[in-house]
Structure 1
Amino acid sequence: MARITAPVQGYNGTIGDVVFENGVAETDNPAVIAYCRGAGYTVDGETIEAAHEPPVDSRDVERVRLGTPLRDAAVDPWPEDFLPPTNAGQADPHGPQVVSPGAHAVPPAPIVPGPVSPDPDEQQAAETEVAQRVLVEGQPATVVAERSRPPQSAPKAAWVDYAVSQGADRGEAEATSKADLIDRYGRDQADEEK
């Protein structure tokens, strides 16, 4: 059992699970003993003086970069970038010809109707095409979405997303049957003109 004396006479308090009374405590706890030795307490009659080093001058410290530096994909695109900005590395990186499609259904690009592809390359191509056509070429989002109408065999969720892209309320579209969604939003423009 180690006897520990606090550097402040009469100290009453605790360090970990060790209680000091009138500046003295006894313990077998190796963590508390080690702490007290390093903090200037007297342990079993021995006090270790902490080394007092001069403060560090920040001009003398070598700088070391930690982590990965930030990179603007519009300025410095890499082939492995997922959903990189359109025209990256080809046009003014911060001009109107370079836009980022972002993740699925994240503004400013419109929602790409239909299911999200499990193939990242296929999904990237679809998202980038829509962002290019709407944000760079200025085509109305409804026209772009019209060209991207899901097939009739697509699941109802794809038709709900498509209906929402056409201006429908999501709650109402989800409450509508797939057949009614196809009837309302699945007609070709040619059929409507007849």
Structure 2
Amino acid sequence: MARIVAPNREYNGTIGDVQFENGVAETDNPAVIAYCRGAGYEIDGHTEQREQAEPVDSRDVEYVRLGTPLRDAAVDPRPEDFLPPSSAGEADPHGPRVVSPGAHAVPPAPIVPGPVSPDPDEQQAAETEVAQRVLVEGQPATVVAERSRPPQSAPKAAWVDYAVSQGADREQAEATSKADLIDRYGRDQADEEK
């Protein structure tokens, strides 16, 4: 059984499963003994002296790059980039005509309402178009974010999303039948003007 004395003689706590009282504990637990030895505790009357490391001169350090280097997709666009900046590689990479749509629903681009497409290319096109129209062309986000009316064959969820984009309350739209959503939100503006 090893007797351990903590540097703080008033320590009353535990290390692992070993309880210290007034900075002293006894244990056979080799993990606790090893930890305490390395942390400068006195073990059976002996304290290990730690060697002081020499300060490192940063001029003598060899730098090794780990991981992938950072790359600015606005300057060096690649085909595999997802949601790359619009006009990347074509316009001044840090000018007002190159904007990044960012991830779905991340400002400054507006939220593109509705479901996220399982097809990454389709989702990327939608997000990039909205970012371009709002951030580059200056169109109001409320106008840009309006969704196109879904076809009548679309699932009810698409009609609920469309109704919400037109100002409906989501809970009420979800409680409404698909036929009633189509009847209310599925008419052309030309039909309403007749």
Calculate percent identity across the aligned residue pairs: 78
Give the letter aligned to residue 101 of structure 1: P
- The alpha carbon displacement at 1:186 in A equals 1.5
- The residue aligned with 1:32 is 32
Q: Which TM-score applies when normalising by structure 1?
A: 0.70
Instruction: Compare 56-65 and 80-89 and name the one that shifted more.
Output: 56-65
- Helix, strand or coil: the match of 2:174? helix
Q: Report the TM-score when normalising by structure 2.
A: 0.70
For the structure 1 residues 193 and 31, does the alpha-carbon distance in structure 2 shift closer, same or farther, using more than 3 Å as the test? same
Which segments of 5 or more consecutive residues in structure 2 lack a partner in the other structure? Answer: none
Which aligned pairs between 1:169-184 and structure 2 lie closer than 5 A?
A: 169-184=169-184
Cα deviation 1:98-135 (Å, max 9, x = unaligned)? 2333444555235255x432221222223323433454
In 1, Cα distance between the equivalents of 2:40 and 2:116?
63
Deviates more, 1:66-75 or 1:159-168: 66-75
Partner of 1:156: 156
Shift of 1:24: 6.2
Alignment partners' CA distance in 2, 1:134 and 1:173: 27
Task: Give the number of the structure whose alpha-carbon radius of gyration is greater.
Answer: 1
Shift of 1:138: 4.9
Q: For this pair of structures, how many residues does the alignment match?
A: 189
Go from structure 1 to structure 2 and tell me whether the alpha carbon gap of 1:182 and 1:61 turns closer, same or farther (over 3 Å shift). same
Q: Read off the aligned partner of 1:111 and give its amino acid letter.
A: V
Structure 1 unmatched runs, 5+: none
Contact map agreement 2:112 2:145 (CA 8 A) in 1: no
Distance 2:24 2:101 in 1: 67
Question: What is the CA deviation profile of residues 122-178 of structure 1, one whole-angstrom value per residue up to 9, with x for unaligned ones?
Answer: 2222332343345444556547746x2211111222112212223334344334332
